Chain A
């Protein structure tokens, strides 16, 4: 089962939920930190990095001798990554989205793809958790290809938990797309609700079944719960607003370590997700 932990708003508790779910699972789990602009799961785990690899994107390079300055590559590039002056084509690598159109279409064969490093992917072992972390290099802006490289480590059977980036843009889509089920983490505030509504719209479009976890429950009001009731969305878990939990988190301790009484709730959350992913009809058939 692939579980994506997402949220519209940043700082609502995605990492809190992803880690606690992984720790409470009681079986081997692959945790994918897809928040490649600011990965943080590793801060909460005591483990050893066992593998590290660079991630590259193919980026065009110009053979200035062969370029006829015809202008086709500049016209086709949607992102302004390549411009053509009378002196020939010029590439701006950080604007390139690596679609390959310019290289494919160049009538003079003056463009070829060269690998350009955008970040790295590390593998860490910490007990029953294998953590894969994507880290985008400073100055790079194209997160989705790196997110996809991390996601590729979640192929095959077994439990996979994805800590997605915040928001609803391309990196989030790359992290959540193809998951079996998603958890949307939010907080009971006007801001939390606003961004939850955006996240709900996004995961519905991705056709991933989902439920909601309300973090810092008791800190705000009932508007998130009301919204979920109105929309027929399951609230799978509420994590109480407690100073003890916040203090532990600030010290790098996961919630289930700081508040062990919540461990059964995270086990139930996992069961709840399994039910969400498998429609009731299919479960009835499996039982018979």
Chain B
């Protein structure tokens, strides 16, 4: 399974970034082959508004089946749902920890946003 994880940098030992829209970076991981690829989140990081929506569009374009992050707001969640990407929130520790938890079925698949949206 291909999954996108929000991270502080693109490495297995990097801490998970709890933010989705303004995550420092994304890593695209193939849980079978253990391949890791960085997907820079620069466009959303520079956005004055709508970072979550932009980041969601980016994740959808990677072809990933799931997103693993700390928190996800309503507009980003709607965009990810439209793109058919499953959202797992509440991830902690390193990227490797997050992948282990996901594969072990220990992460909660969100059926809605877990935080409120920003006004702008």
Contacts and interface: CB of A to CB of B under 8 A. Distances in A.
A binds B: yes
Contact of B50 (A81, A84, A86): A81
Interface in B15-54: 47-51, 53-54
A117 to B, nearest CB: 17
A: interface residue count bin = 10 to 19
Contact of A85 (B54, B57, B119): B57
Contacts, number: 44
Given A90-B79, A141-B119, A83 B49 contact: no
Which of B50, B51, B54, B61 gathers most chain A CB within 10 Å? B50
Given A92-B50, A95-B50, A83 B120 contact: no
B79 to A, nearest CB: 6
B53 A95 contact: yes
Interface residues of B, number: 19
B86 interface: no
8 pairs of A and B residues whose beta carbons are closest in the complex: A80-B50, A83-B57, A85-B83, A95-B50, A85-B60, A80-B53, A80-B54, A141-B120
Contacts of B2: none
Given A83-B79, A85-B79, A74 B49 contact: no
Interface string A63-99: 0000000000010000111011111001010110000
B77 to A, nearest CB: 12
Contacts of A81: 50
A76 B59 CA distance: 19
Interface in B63-78: 75, 78
A80 B83 contact: no
Contact of A87 (B47, B50, B83): B83
A92 B84 CA distance: 17
25 contacts: A74-B57, A79-B48, A79-B50, A80-B49, A80-B50, A80-B53, A80-B54, A84-B57, A85-B60, A85-B79, A85-B82, A85-B83, A86-B60, A86-B83, A90-B78, A90-B82, A92-B50, A92-B78, A92-B79, A95-B49, A95-B53, A95-B75, A139-B119, A141-B119, A141-B120
B56 interface: yes
Interface of A: 74, 79-81, 83-87, 90, 92, 94-95, 139, 141
A80 B119 CA distance: 14
A83 B119 contact: no
Contacts of A87: 82-84
B64 to A, nearest CB: 13
Given A85-B82, A90-B79, A90-B82, A79 B49 contact: yes
Contacts of B57: 74, 83-85
B86 to A, nearest CB: 15
Nearest to B47: A80
Contacts of A74: 57
A95 B75 CA distance: 10
Given A83-B54, A85-B61, 4 more contacts: A83-B57, A85-B83, A87-B84, A90-B82
- With most chain B CB atoms within 10 A of its CB, the pick from A86, A92, A95 is A92
